[in-house]
Amino acid sequence: MYTCQNCGATADSSSSLCKPTSAEIESKFCGAPADQVCDDKRKTMKYTCDACGSVSADAEHLCSPSLIE
């Protein structure tokens, strides 16, 4: 499993992500602009950070998450 270092999107193949890593990521994704989200993963982004506007597929990757409606 790979994780994008820009937005936290996950994929089985590293070629599906903009900035993949196989290392476990424990940091928040706040501060990464939404335009850095991997194109094919945009539809999986379910949360936005109320503080900075970053997006992530998982709420725990953001400091102040809100569900995208």
Q: Check residue 67 and give its pLDDT.
A: 94
pLDDT tens column, 27-51: 666 766 677 777 777 888 889 889 8
Task: Map out the domains of the chain as residue ranges.
Answer: 2-67
Which of 34 and 15 is assigned the larger pLDDT?
Answer: 15
Q: What is the mean pLDDT of residues 1-15?
A: 83
Q: Check residue 60 and give its pLDDT.
A: 83
Q: pTM for this one?
A: 0.62
Share of the chain above pLDDT 70, in %: 90
Helix (H, G, I), strand (E, B) or coil at 10: strand
Residues contacting residue 45 through CB under 8 Å, at least 6 positions apart: 7, 9, 34, 37, 55, 56, 57, 68
